[in-house]
């Protein structure tokens, strides 16, 4: 309970309100209630920019704001893109507005004027609910051993990344990774040692790529790195850098020095070597197979003639 109180005191709030006097009064009210107001903005685009810069915990959204998009349109974008809770503060309560609010996956709706205690409680409930949802989603999308994303999440995320790639005409690259001679670790040192190797390699990979890249435990000792807006040449450079980092690992388990860990990697890119997500994985997997056949501990890029 003490930990929850500490987190609540640090809640960061973004206010989206086009009436400056109302926004300033709201900001002062929130500060007196122990919240940290990151910024006050008046349009959808400004809200998106502020989220990128400030990373708030919740967005308080007026429905009537400046710009082409109103608060409900803005809230839908915010939830889809950032999975942040949005709480509406508005004077509008007609049926059409309420229907749009419901469809936008909002976390609450308060009619102006509202009481201070009502505002504070609603914000805290919304954030608590959001944290519970995020925890469940984390458990659904994460591998239990390594904490990396799992195959379920990859199948969902890769569709979204391909949609963005087609919209903005940028490449999507994929690195398929296999830990070399993994069975040897299990047979020589036991399955706990094998798990330790997987976790160590996964941790290193996760902290060696860009924040936008997805590191996924695909199955067993296989790991996939999905790199949006990344050319095949750049992906090959990243893959070789990962290979070198893993080969430099010095792992110790149960007072034993584990033998050197190496990985083999296959690289493929959309649209150069694949026309869709399934063929992208297949092309990278085939390149990985060649890397293993050629002696392991190396990177192979898929043939441009791959489907």
Residues with catalytic annotation? 221
Give dist(CA 187, CA 261) in Å, integer: 15
Angle at 157 between CA 199 and CA 232, to 5 degrees: 80
Q: What are the start-end ranges of the E strands in the chain? A: 12-16, 36-41, 58-61, 86-90, 108-111, 172-179, 214-219, 222-228, 252-253, 256-257, 263-270, 299-301
Q: Which of 110, 223, 229 is nearest to 161 (CA)?
A: 229
**DSSP 8-state secondary structure symbol assigned to residue 93:** -
Q: Sheet holding 58-61: strands in order across? A: 36-41, 12-16, 58-61, 86-90, 108-111
- Asked if 143 and 149 count as a contact pair (C-beta separation under 8 A), the reply is yes
Determine the angle formed by the axes of helices 151-168 and 277-293, rounding to 10 degrees: 110
Residues 6+ apart with CB under 8 A from 240: 265, 299
Give dist(CA 27, CA 43) in Å, integer: 17
């Amino acid at each position: 309970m003490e930990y929850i109180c500490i987190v609540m005191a640090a809640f960061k709030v973004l206010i989206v309100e086009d009436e400056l006097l109302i926004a300033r009064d709201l900001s002062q009210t929130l500060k007196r209630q122990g919240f940290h107001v990151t910024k006050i903005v008046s349009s959808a685009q400004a809200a998106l920019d502020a989220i990128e810069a400030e990373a708030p915990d919740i967005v308080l959204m007026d429905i009537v704001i400046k710009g082409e998009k109103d608060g409900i349109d803005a809230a839908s974008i915010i939830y889809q893109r950032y999975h942040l809770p949005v709480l509406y503060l508005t004077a509008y309560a007609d049926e059409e507005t309420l229907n749009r609010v419901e469809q936008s996956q909002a976390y609450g709706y308060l009619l102006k004027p509202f009481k201070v205690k009502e505002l504070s409680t609603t914000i805290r409930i919304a954030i608590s609910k959001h944290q519970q949802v995020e925890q469940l989603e984390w458990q659904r999308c994460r591998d239990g051993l390594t904490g990396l994303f799992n195959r379920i999440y990859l199948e969902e995320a890769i569709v979204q990344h391909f949609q963005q790639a087609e919209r903005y005409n940028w490449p999507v690259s994929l690195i398929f990774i296999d830990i070399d001679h993994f069975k040897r670790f299990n047979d020589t040192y036991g399955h706990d040692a094998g798990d330790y190797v997987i976790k160590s390699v996964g941790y290193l990979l996760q902290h060696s790529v860009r924040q936008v890249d997805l590191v996924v435990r695909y199955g067993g000792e296989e790991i996939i790195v999905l790199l949006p807006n990344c050319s095949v040449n750049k992906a090959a450079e990243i893959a070789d850098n990962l290979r070198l980092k893993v080969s430099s690992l010095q792992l110790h388990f149960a007072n034993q020095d584990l033998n050197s860990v190496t990985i083999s990697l296959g690289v493929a890119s959309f649209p150069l070597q694949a026309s869709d997500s399934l063929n992208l994985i297949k092309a990278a997997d085939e390149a990985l197979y060649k890397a293993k056949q050629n002696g392991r501990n190396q990177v192979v890029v898929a043939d441009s003639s791959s489907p």
